[in-house]
Chain A
Amino acid sequence: MDLKGRHLIDPRDLRLDELNGLLDLGLAMYEKPAVFDQTCRGKILGTLFYEPSTRTRLSFESAMLRLGGRVLGFSDAATSSASKGESLADTIRVLDDYADVLVMRHPREGAPKLAAEYATVPVINGGDGGHQHPTQTLTDLLTLKKHLGEIQNLKVAFCGDLLFGRTVHSLIKTLSRFPGMEFFLVSPPELRIPSHLKEELLYEYDVKITETSQLEDCIEEIDLLYMTRIQKERFFNEEEYIKLKDSFILSRDKLAPAKESLLVLHPLPRVNEIQYDVDEDPRARYFDQAKMGVYIRMALICAVLGVELPC
């Protein structure tokens, strides 16, 4: 696996063997993090967060600190020169000299790709609008690998906001590349996955997709339930948000008929789409999933920096 100097903008920027290599490295870092604690000594991670983030930003920062590196950046566009009207290209040209690797979140779709066009250091997409979130996908995959061993022949339900949910878009595209995957897309009609993405999945990956507005239609047969939040910030019309925000609420009752081996994941933050008492169910793995985000990001940072690994 040689990812030195590479950008990660779209999950398809990584070949399947590279994905698997990263997952193996992430798992090794999870098992023995201390071994890697000086791997990025002298390196700097630049964090450009034009949109709020808790897990992605802090897990990236935690990852770099655990690797012995340092972090600089901003977590609010209002505190950057973007608020003065500076173009993204100019910001990148400058930060390019301040950091060895950049991670960026932006409300505009395609902004990290634009950043990558102006950067000489690797740019990692930390989420762009409703488009893509490749490092959440890596996190999801590492969680699956940890709990299942192999990622194959899974029946996966995505539930909630599939239209604007960038975590869904990235994950479904990536899971489609693994063998034997079948998808159930559970959402209100207004929040179904974008037609272009559905066509891409059908034409390019020939996967089996079933769309429904009832979780009950598939809960008994699925291996993975990927819950998502209805995202207020993606709606132009608040009335529409209010109408849809409580479309799916996962309760212990709803989860009762599911397999014992089911994994319930959620990219977080949740609002009310998973009731708090579900957290006690052993199938609920979303906090473990958030934890794995640190280790896979450690692996990714090391890979794109091309640093020498201790093992």
Chain B
Amino acid sequence: MLEVTAIKKGIVIDHIPAGKGLRIFEKLRLDRHQAQAVLLMHVKSRKRGSKDIIKIQDDLTVDLRILGLIDPGITVNYIENEEIIEKQLAGLPQKVKGLFECKNPRCITGVDDCAVPEFTLVPNGKIQYKCSYCGTLTEYKL
């Protein structure tokens, strides 16, 4: 059995649906990050059968807001001195910037680099985000 030791300080992203870990690793740009990170795939899970896990050593500042767009059931554990100091359910981010583009072909953000849209979650139960420039609602999935 493959063994990866516990981290003393950092972040453990747990309950990632099996097979989606690599995508999250890429979306969080951990390959370009200075922190040490490890991706575990197809780890046995009592609840899910199998899951993926990402461990990030020493860095508690990675922006994890996109996780909820991949699966709101992902959990994030913040570790200090080998103990969990905070546990969060990923959930859906209320605001997102820089992760995706507005899908309205008439939106200024499609042609002007100065216009970076911020997307706000609309409380309509459909996981739709509203573009701050043109107001178009789009369902985004990562």
- In chain B between 86 and 140, which residues have their CB closer than 8 angstroms to a CB of chain A? 104-115, 117, 122-124, 128, 130-137
A131 on interface, CB distance cutoff 8 Å: yes
Interface centre among A110, A117, A118, A130 (most CB of B within 10 A): A110
- Cβ of A109: which chain B residues have Cβ within 8 Å of it? 104, 106-108, 133-136
B64 to chain A, nearest CB (A): 28
For B114, list chain A residues within 8 Å (CB). Answer: 87-89, 114, 117-118
Which residue, of B105, B112, B132, has the highest number of chain A Cβ atoms within 10 A?
A: B112
B106: chain A residues within 8 A (beta carbon):
107-109, 129-131
Give the CA-CA distance A88 to B128 in the complex, in Å: 29
Total contacts A to B, CB within 8 angstroms?
67
Interface residue ranges of A155-210 to B (CB < 8 Å): 194-197, 199, 203
Contact A199–B133 (Cβ < 8 Å) = no
**For B109, what are the chain A residues with a Cβ–Cβ distance below 8 Å?**
110
Which residues of the partner chain A approach B134 to less than 8 Å between Cβ atoms?
109-110, 129, 131
| Interfacial residues of chain A within 74-128, with CB under 8 A of chain B in the complex | 87-89, 106-111, 113-114, 117-118, 128
Neighbour of B133 across the interface among A114, A130, A236, CB < 8 A: A114
Specify which of A87, A106, A118, A131 is in contact with B135 (CB 8 Å cutoff). Answer: A131
Is the beta-carbon distance between B136 and A114 smaller than 8 angstroms? no
Tell me if B124 and A203 are in contact (CB < 8 A).
yes
Check A196–B137 contact: CB distance below 8 A: yes
Cβ contact of B130, chosen from A108, A129, A196, cutoff 8 A: A196
CB pair B136 A196 closer than 8 Å: yes
Residues in chain B near residue A118, CB distance under 8 A = 114
CB distance from A130 to the nearest CB of B (A): 6
Query: What CA separation (Å) do A159 and B38 show in the bound complex?
Result: 59
- The distance from the CB of B106 to the nearest CB of chain A, in whole angstroms, is 5
Q: Which positions 33-77 of chain B face chain A at CB distance < 8 Å?
A: none
| Cβ–Cβ < 8 Å partners of B113 in chain A | 87
Q: How far in angstroms is the closest Cβ of chain B from A39? A: 33
Which A-B residue pairs are the 5 nearest by beta carbons?
A: A110-B133, A196-B137, A109-B134, A108-B108, A110-B108
14 A/B residue pairs, CB under 8 Å, sorted by A: A87-B113, A108-B111, A109-B107, A109-B108, A110-B131, A110-B133, A113-B108, A114-B133, A128-B108, A129-B106, A131-B106, A196-B137, A199-B124, A203-B124
Known: A114-B133, A196-B130. 10 other contacts (CB 8 A): A87-B114, A89-B114, A108-B106, A108-B112, A109-B134, A110-B115, A113-B133, A128-B108, A194-B136, A203-B123
